[in-house]
């Protein structure tokens, strides 16, 4: 396996960005943030690239933030570095990004998926925002984007219970575009990317900009409130306990402070 934490490949107008920490469930640490940021800098700068695909190596898309890195004090770097979590979730892009999900997109991984413009997922894929189960909040876009993507009551159930849901449900609710046979998400995403790449570049770019502007009319205010809440929650004893309990594979003991 390549030692790079993120892999980059571009061909025929499509760039593929692959999270490459399969032994760590493609969890996001500061090095991954830097590499994702650099990959999308390259995508934006390359006139030959028209569409991008974001995917994960191995059997899982992304399990979210690396809690060992968080427990070690890297939380601010991962969450509040340039372009937000993963160097990605707050980025203003001019080119469409398709998430190709196999296995699971959890916590920050799910929020990175929500930041993409289209999503293709394998039939067995699972999705969840389990942050409340470890004393944190879904602060990388989950609480901002999900309630305007699906019905509010569905979003609240996902956000407040932290329980996983399946690809079929995600498709029914409009969270993802297509469900494929397991192992085929990247191939189908590539076909979708090639369809987009064959269209007029400026027309695609301006259409995407208009669609995103309509969808995110109140983003700035929501992100400001979101980020304030992350800072407050991340400093609590419960947040520290949740991370320790996850690493130690035990049930957390909440203190309510």
Question: 127, 175 in Cβ contact below 8 A?
Answer: yes
Supply the DSSP string of 189-223, one letter for each residue: HHHHHHHHHTS-HHHHHHHHHHHHHHHTTTHHHHH
| DSSP structural state of residue 23 | G
Task: For residue 243, give the nearest of 79, 67, 78, 76 by alpha carbon.
Answer: 67
| DSSP structural state of residue 134 | G
Burial 221-240 (b: 16+ CB within 10 A, else e): ebbeebbeebeebbebebbb
Determine whether 131 is an active site residue.
yes
Q: Residue 253 CB: number of other CB atoms within 10 A?
A: 10
The percent helix, strand, coil of the chain (3-state, each to 5) is 50, 15, 35
CA–CA dist 9, 54 (Å, integer): 11
Q: Please pick, among 131, 194, 225, 248, the residue that the annotation labels catalytic.
A: 131
Q: Which spans in the chain are helix H?
A: 30-45, 67-69, 75-80, 108-115, 142-149, 152-161, 167-173, 185-197, 201-215, 219-234, 237-248
Q: Please pick, among 11, 48, 102, 111, the residue that the annotation labels catalytic.
A: 111
Looking at the annotation, which residues are catalytic? 111, 131
């Amino acid at each position: 396996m390549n030692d790079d934490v993120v892999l980059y490949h571009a061909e025929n107008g499509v760039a593929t960005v692959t999270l490459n920490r399969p032994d760590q469930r493609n969890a996001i640490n500061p090095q991954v943030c830097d590499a994702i940021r650099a990959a999308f800098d390259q995508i934006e700068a390359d006139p030959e690239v028209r569409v991008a695909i974001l995917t994960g190596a191995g059997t899982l898309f992304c399990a979210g933030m690396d809690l060992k890195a968080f427990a070690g004090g890297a939380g601010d770097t991962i969450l509040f570095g340039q372009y937000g979590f993963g160097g990605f979730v707050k980025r203003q892009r001019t080119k469409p990004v398709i998430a190709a999900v196999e296995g699971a997109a959890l916590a920050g991984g799910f929020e990175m998926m929500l930041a993409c413009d289209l999503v293709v997922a394998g039939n067995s894929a699972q999705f969840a925002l389990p942050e409340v189960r470890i004393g944190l909040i879904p602060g990388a876009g989950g609480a901002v984007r999900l309630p305007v993507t699906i019905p509010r009551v569905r979003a609240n159930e996902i956000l407040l219970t932290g329980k996983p849901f399946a690809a079929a449900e995600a498709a029914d609710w409009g969270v993802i575009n297509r469900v494929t046979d397991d192992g085929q998400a990247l191939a189908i995403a590539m076909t979708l990317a090639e369809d987009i790449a064959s269209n007029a570049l400026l027309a695609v770019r301006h259409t995407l900009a208009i669609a995103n502007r309509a969808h995110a009319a109140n983003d700035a205010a929501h992100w400001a409130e979101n980020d304030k809440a992350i800072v407050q929650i991340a400093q609590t004893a419960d947040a520290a306990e949740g991370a320790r309990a996850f690493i130690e594979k035990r049930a957390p003991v909440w203190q309510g402070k």
